[in-house]
Amino acid sequence: MAISRFIDDTRDSRHQLLSEEGKIYSVATGSQSIDASGYLALEVTNPADSNKMIEVIRIEGGTLTTTTIDILRNAPLAVSGFSLSPLNRNWNCTDSSAMTVKYITQATDPTSGGDLLTSVIQTSGKISMTYDGEFVLPGTTSDNHFSLRIKNNTSEANTLSVSITWLEP
């Protein structure tokens, strides 16, 4: 118990310090209506030569019925999608994120290639996945993509939302 509490305290202290420094960002799709067997996908891209690294902290959202939530590495959206502006979690900080973010809703799988890192089937309710930096997108000479693909597993429309929070240490 003491080791677990120490780890929690250390992580919380690091996140608080990085938040105070304006290094934590997030985006959210808001509620999206998804057709039967359709998809909501969100992509965070660390652009080539950004000289930034990101660590995914948390993924949250919600669903009214059964969905499959996939996390993919380097599986960019095959379509243009809608841009989202990353928001700094420190409202007093004007620093902006180097990441580009977009999302799309459509009837067919909007992702292309990549590696499946995690896949979870959820019956309904809140999506809450805490990673505390387990997924890292380095700044390299080529783009790195972190994608979420959420599939409506029902034969009727579903309402989905997703948000992602990351830090840029």
Give CATH for domain 2-167.
2.60.120
Cβ(67)–Cβ(152) under 8 Å?
Answer: yes
Name 106's bridge partners: 39
How many Cβ atoms are within 10 Å of 66's Cβ, its own excluded? 14
Domain ranges of the chain: 2-167
Rg (CA), the chain: 16
Residue 119 pLDDT: 97
Using 50, 70 and 90 to split pLDDT, how confident is the model at 102?
Answer: very high
- Whether this model's pTM surpasses 0.85: yes
Strands lying side by side in the sheet with 115-122: 82-84, 100-106, 39-46, 144-152, 67-73, 115-122
How many Cβ atoms are within 10 Å of 120's Cβ, its own excluded? 12
Q: Residues 37-71: pLDDT tens digits?
A: 999 999 999 999 899 999 999 999 999 999 999 99
